[in-house]
């Protein structure tokens, strides 16, 4: 696809989102029995001249079967204690009756800048969401509408990193980046306001980014004496291309939501007051799909970038699936039975 076509199709993503949400959509019964309007989850390739209204009847069996998810608001249950610790700088919630977790940096007075403690708390929440078999999608966000995250809190930055209660200087957000990447469930950044510095890197690490129309993106490191020469630069170059990545870091400018969409930094842009609604819809669409398919796809896309560490992650998925098979179990059972394994009944697939 040419750059022009790509940019045009990205614009259409915004447009079709607006059409879908602005139109008077049909009502449907949701899973809790309440009346709700529905979202046609399939983008139609169309121009603005001949666009099909989103409330038109489904045109294919695929659309009829898969096209709609509920757009009722999620109902969140707050979790105050994680890893036996009271959360102080993060709000952690799970949606009642559906597999979505939400982790929000809660330092709005600092534009959600993170300290080592914030990062540690996020890490506990991600670990909890990973281990909870009911959770299939995780939202990362910041509280308030002014910032997703403004990166490391510069007031606690010491010579060797950011300093917390234990006085040890850390760059522990790097471990968090790896944790999010390795997490075998989709992580969605829900961005309102500023996503800058280390906060910009966090959204890039997430699998998807839903941006509000007030979102602002940028790298500030070269202005504040910092840089991320890991995923923050190399993954960015894969996302938006070498020239744009160098521009973003070398000039340290800010970019609005439409510019971010045009660059391929975000997946879609929606009005601020519909940010959570749209993010939840994207999560619900993913939750309908095969968790194993999503898991292995994420690992494959990581493996393409992550060298041996990526192959290890992808290989771990192969082992996990193999353990579920009779062939894999025959080896284990033979060991336990103190006999030689008999793999003769398993086909040598072409």
Ligand X SMILES: CC(C)(COP(=O)(O)OP(=O)(O)OC[C@H]1O[C@@H](n2cnc3c(N)ncnc32)[C@H](O)[C@@H]1OP(=O)(O)O)[C@@H](O)C(=O)NCCC(=O)NCCSC(=O)c1cc(O)c2ccccc2c1O
Chain contacts with ligand X (rule: CB under 6 A): 110-111, 113, 150-155, 162, 171, 173-174, 194, 196-198, 220-221, 224, 226-228
Place of tokens 């999503």: 294
Q: Least distance to ligand X from the beta carbon of 252, Å?
A: 9
Q: Which is nearer to ligand X, 186 or 198 (CB)?
A: 198
Q: Which is nearer to ligand X, 153 or 207 (CB)?
A: 153
CB neighbour list of residue 263: distance below 8 Å, 6 or more residues apart? 240, 244, 255
Q: Least distance to ligand X from the beta carbon of 110, Å?
A: 4
CB neighbour list of residue 141: distance below 8 Å, 6 or more residues apart? 102, 103, 104, 105, 148, 189, 190, 191, 192, 279
**What is the C-alpha to C-alpha distance for residues 280 and 278, in angstroms, rounded to an integer?**
5
Q: Least distance to ligand X from the beta carbon of 266, Å?
A: 18
C-beta of residue 126 within 8 angstroms of C-beta of residue 82: no
Q: Which is nearer to ligand X, 94 or 107 (CB)?
A: 107
Q: Least distance to ligand X from the beta carbon of 230, Å?
A: 7
Q: Least distance to ligand X from the beta carbon of 148, Å?
A: 10
CB neighbour list of residue 122: distance below 8 Å, 6 or more residues apart? 90, 103, 105, 114, 140, 176
Listed as own residue / partner, the contacts of 341-350 with beta carbons closer than 8 Å and 24 or more positions apart are none
Q: Which is nearer to ligand X, 99 or 232 (CB)?
A: 232
Q: Which is nearer to ligand X, 136 or 197 (CB)?
A: 197
Per-residue CA distances from 276 to 21, 215, 263, 266 (Å): 13, 14, 23, 15
Q: Least distance to ligand X from the beta carbon of 225, Å?
A: 8
| Residues constituting the chain | 350
**What is the C-alpha to C-alpha distance for residues 274 and 272, in angstroms, rounded to an integer?**
5
Q: Least distance to ligand X from the beta carbon of 257, Å?
A: 15
Q: Which is nearer to ligand X, 159 or 324 (CB)?
A: 159
Q: Which is nearer to ligand X, 158 or 316 (CB)?
A: 158
Sheet with 90-95: strands ordered across: 76-79, 90-95, 100-105, 137-142, 187-191, 208-212, 268-270
Q: Least distance to ligand X from the beta carbon of 229, Å?
A: 8
Residue 274's nearest CA partner among 206, 208, 210, 193 is: 210
Q: Which is nearer to ligand X, 92 or 114 (CB)?
A: 114
Angle among Cα 268, 240, 277 to the nearest 5 degrees reads 15
Indicate the residue whose CB is closest to ligand X: 151
């Amino acid at each position: 696809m040419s750059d022009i076509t790509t940019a045009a199709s990205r614009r259409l993503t915004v447009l079709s989102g607006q059409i879908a949400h602005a139109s008077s959509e049909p009502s449907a019964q949701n899973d809790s029995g309440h009346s709700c309007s529905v979202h046609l989850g399939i983008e139609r390739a169309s121009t603005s001249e001949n666009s099909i209204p989103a409330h038109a009847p489904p045109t294919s069996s695929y659309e009829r079967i898969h096209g709609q998810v509920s757009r009722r608001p999620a109902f969140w249950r707050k979790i105050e204690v994680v890893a036996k610790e009271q959360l102080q700088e993060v709000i952690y919630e799970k949606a009642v009756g559906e597999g979505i977790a939400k982790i929000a940096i809660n330092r709005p007075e600092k534009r959600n800048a993170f300290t080592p403690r914030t990062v540690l708390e996020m890490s506990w929440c991600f670990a909890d969401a990973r281990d909870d078999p009911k959770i299939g999608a995780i939202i990362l966000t910041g509280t308030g509408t002014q910032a997703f995250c403004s990166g490391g809190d510069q007031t606690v930055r010491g010579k060797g990193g950011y300093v917390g209660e234990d006085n040890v200087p850390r760059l522990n957000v790097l471990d968090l980046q790896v944790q999010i990447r390795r997490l075998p469930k989709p992580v969605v950044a829900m961005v309102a306001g500023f996503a800058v510095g280390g906060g910009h890197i966090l959204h890039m690490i997430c699998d998807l980014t839903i941006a509000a129309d007030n979102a602002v993106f940028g790298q500030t490191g070269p202005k504040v004496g910092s840089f991320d020469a890991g995923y923050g630069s190399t993954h960015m170059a894969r996302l938006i291309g070498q020239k744009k990545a160098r521009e973003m870091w070398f000039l340290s400018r800010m970019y609005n939501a439409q510019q971010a969409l045009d660059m391929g930094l975000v997946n879609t842009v929606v009005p601020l007051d519909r940010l959570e609604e749209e993010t939840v819809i994207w999560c619900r669409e993913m939750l309908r799909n095969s968790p194993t398919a999503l898991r292995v796809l994420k690992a494959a896309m990581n493996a393409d970038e992550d060298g041996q560490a990526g192959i290890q992650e992808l290989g771990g998925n192969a082992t996990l699936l193999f353990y579920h098979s009779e062939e894999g179990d025959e080896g284990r059972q033979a060991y336990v039975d103190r006999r030689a394994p008999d793999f003769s009944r398993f086909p040598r697939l072409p």
